[in-house]
Amino acid sequence: MPSLTVVNAQRDVPYPAAPLTTGRVPGSPVGGGPVPGDPVRGGLAQELFTLKKDPLPPMARPRLLARLPHVLVVYAAVFFGSLTSTQLQDHYDVHDPSIVLLSLFTGFSLVIAMFRPIGAWWLGLLNAGFIAWVIRDHVGQGQAWPWTAIGPFSFAPLILLVALRVPPRVTIAVISVSVAAGAVAEGAFKPEKSRSSLLVALLVFGFAGLLGYALRAMRLARGQLVAQETMTEEERARRTLLEERSRIARELHDVVAHHMSVISIQAQVAPHLVENPSEELKENLAGIRQNALEALTELRRVLGVLRSEHPDDPANPHHPQPTLADLDGLVDNVRAAGLEVATEIAGIRRPLTPGSELTAYRIVQEALSNCLRHAPGSRVEVGIAYGPRELHLCVANSAPTRAAAPSPGAGHGLLGMRERAGMLGGELAAGPRPGGGYEVSAVLPMDLPGGAASGTDETEKPS
């Protein structure tokens, strides 16, 4: 059995901390996953043949101009619809009644694009095809076809509105299909006197796609920033709350626990200061001491709740708390993980107060966890000794047989063990063993239920 004597209790030597292996900011996507504001999408074909609703988002700031993009789209719809009608009648000398309908669809497709961009793009492309077919017999010498002179510029807002809402690969596919449709029409039905408008269409569509991509990237980056700022604010508020709760816990520990301990001690000593005290006085003083001890126990539970970071923390009294009776299950789990663990219990095993049982269990648990992380392949010895007034704990491991995996630990577990022991008025020491390995040992006061230890009176130490 390892030594159960606490040495160098004023100083803890932590396990070497391994460097962090990732520089990822907490809360950021892992592995290039989707970012806030960028919904998970399907395949390319599914994206090109969809009527899914995808409303044009308003401007984030300033709020007075939130709907400015929608106003500009409506203005562009009216402008390009009127311009298309004028050009077809004046430049191509087309006076067919369908011109009015085609001009209306030119503007209508832009309005639809504010809500269903892909569906509006298909409508606009189909409308452009009808326009090319209607003007085919009216094309004069050197006039543009299949896109009219104004056609690429009236179609570009559709490309822009699509690029604002879809991934870049879909934008590239939309531009490619638009240009390819014009190329097929030109190859099959090009009038003899016309000139090609495909190069102009490609340049204009490409510029609109790049502009939409840039604006979309800015919007997504802004969404990520807002999400990160929100998370930072929540983290700051959470830490402020935890700091305040820790401050309250320290005040309770330093002031209330001290005075309750003094009351308990004074109530224990008072009968010895009075000559021939009456039985009634002894009973009252014993009741005062018992109430003080119970108040200390409840106070320790409250301190555990205040120091809990999460409501489902094991320190929460509403959850079942492990005790030393559960130690066998803990050791079995560690053995299943690959460590050789030997246990030895000395003295008469007896129940302690819930706070002492929980603290002892957590110290052994954290020490065994450190052995798993930092000393793979080592032999671990767990010793527990029940003394008349103190409980001795010791977890010692031999030198590891293989290198430990990188671990982000920074000694916080040792600090937590020391704090738990200190709350009960105990001591804890941790450091390397002379022959190699590591040892954690602790001494906790035997705070038995009812306030007595081994049937004798006990002087309560300040918590």
Separation CA 383–CA 395 (nearest Å): 6
Confidence of residue 22 (pLDDT cuts 50, 70, 90): very low
Residue 261 has pLDDT above 80, yes or no: no
Looking at the structure, tell me whether residues 340 and 363 fall in a common domain. yes
Residue 288 lies in a domain: yes
**Residue where a domain terminates, one of 272, 306, 340:** 306
- Residue keyed to tokens 């402008």: 79
Separation CA 441–CA 428 (nearest Å): 6
Looking at the structure, tell me whether residues 69 and 204 fall in a common domain. yes
pLDDT digits (tens, 9 = 90+) for 329-365: 888 888 877 788 999 999 988 888 877 888 899 899 8
What pLDDT is stored for residue 9 in this prediction? 38
* In the chain, % of residues over pLDDT 70: 80
What pLDDT is stored for residue 254 in this prediction? 65
Q: Average the pLDDT over 153-169 and give the result.
A: 94
Q: HSE, CB side, 13 Å, CA atoms: give it for residue 382.
A: 24
Residue 6 has pLDDT above 60, yes or no: no
Separation CA 299–CA 317 (nearest Å): 12
pTM: 0.47
Residue 319 lies in a domain: no
Looking at the structure, tell me whether residues 104 and 218 fall in a common domain. yes
- Residue keyed to tokens 């309908």: 101
Separation CA 87–CA 95 (nearest Å): 11
Confidence of residue 47 (pLDDT cuts 50, 70, 90): confident
Looking at the structure, tell me whether residues 302 and 383 fall in a common domain. no
Higher pLDDT, 419 or 157: 157
Residue 55 has pLDDT above 50, yes or no: yes
Separation CA 391–CA 347 (nearest Å): 10
What pLDDT is stored for residue 1 in this prediction? 53
Strand order in the sheet with 427-432: 340-346, 379-386, 390-397, 438-445, 427-432
Looking at the structure, tell me whether residues 367 and 296 fall in a common domain. no
Residue 150 in contact with residue 198, Cβ under 8 Å?
no
Q: Average the pLDDT over 197-214 and give the result.
A: 94
* In the chain, % of residues over pLDDT 90: 29
Looking at the structure, tell me whether residues 226 and 250 fall in a common domain. no
How many domains is the chain partitioned into structurally?
Answer: 3
Of the candidates 54, 23, 52, 47, the residue with the CA atom closest to the CA atom of residue 219: 54
CB atoms within 10 A of CB 216: 19
3-state secondary structure the chain: CCCCCCCCCCCECCCCCCCCCCCCCCCCCCCCCCCCCCCCCCCHHHHHCCCCCCCCCCCCCCHHHCCHHHHHHHHHHHHHHHHHHHHHHHCCCCCCCHHHHHHHHHHHHHHHHCCCHHHHHHHHHHHHHHHHHHHHHHCCCCCEECCCCCHHHHHHHHHHHHHCCCCHHHHHHHHHHHHHHHHHHHHHHCCCCCEECHHHHHHHHHHHHHHHHHHHHHHHHHHHHHHHHHHHHHHHHHHHHHHHHHHHHHHHHHHHHHHHHHHHHHHHHHHHHCCCCCHHHHHHHHHHHHHHHHHHHHHHHHHHHHCCCCCCCCCCCCCCCCCHHHHHHHHHHHHHCCCEEEEEEECCCCCCCHHHHHHHHHHHHHHHHHHHHHCCCCEEEEEEEECCCEEEEEEEECCCCCCCCCCCCCCHHHHHHHHHHHHCCCEEEEEECCCCCEEEEEEEECCCCCCCECCECCCCCCC
Looking at the structure, tell me whether residues 221 and 168 fall in a common domain. yes
Residue 122 lies in a domain: yes
Higher pLDDT, 20 or 93: 93
Residue 350 lies in a domain: yes
Beta strand 390-397 pairing with 379-386? antiparallel
Residue 12 has pLDDT above 80, yes or no: no
Q: Average the pLDDT over 70-79 and give the result.
A: 91
Higher pLDDT, 224 or 1: 224
Looking at the structure, tell me whether residues 224 and 273 fall in a common domain. no
Residue 77 has pLDDT above 70, yes or no: yes
Looking at the structure, tell me whether residues 207 and 64 fall in a common domain. yes
What pLDDT is stored for residue 177 in this prediction? 95
Looking at the structure, tell me whether residues 191 and 74 fall in a common domain. yes
Residue 442 in contact with residue 426, Cβ under 8 Å?
yes
Looking at the structure, tell me whether residues 301 and 198 fall in a common domain. no
Residue 256 lies in a domain: yes
Q: Average the pLDDT over 189-200 and give the result.
A: 89
Report the range of poorest mean pLDDT among 175-179, 301-305, 422-426: 301-305
Backbone angles phi, psi at 62, to 5 degrees: -75, 155
Confidence of residue 242 (pLDDT cuts 50, 70, 90): confident
What pLDDT is stored for residue 307 in this prediction? 67
Residue 108 lies in a domain: yes
Separation CA 154–CA 76 (nearest Å): 8
Residue 396 lies in a domain: yes
pLDDT digits (tens, 9 = 90+) for 27-45: 333 333 344 444 444 588 8
Looking at the structure, tell me whether residues 254 and 226 fall in a common domain. no
Residue 330 in contact with residue 364, Cβ under 8 Å?
yes
Residue 175 has pLDDT above 90, yes or no: yes
Across the strands, what pairs with 382? 343, 395
Separation CA 351–CA 342 (nearest Å): 22
CATH number of residue 368's parent domain: 3.30.565.10
Residue 330 in contact with residue 368, Cβ under 8 Å?
yes
Average pLDDT, the chain: 78
58 is in which domain, residue-wise?
A: 44-230
What pLDDT is stored for residue 2 in this prediction? 54
Residue 132 lies in a domain: yes
What pLDDT is stored for residue 51 in this prediction? 84
Residue 380 has pLDDT above 70, yes or no: yes
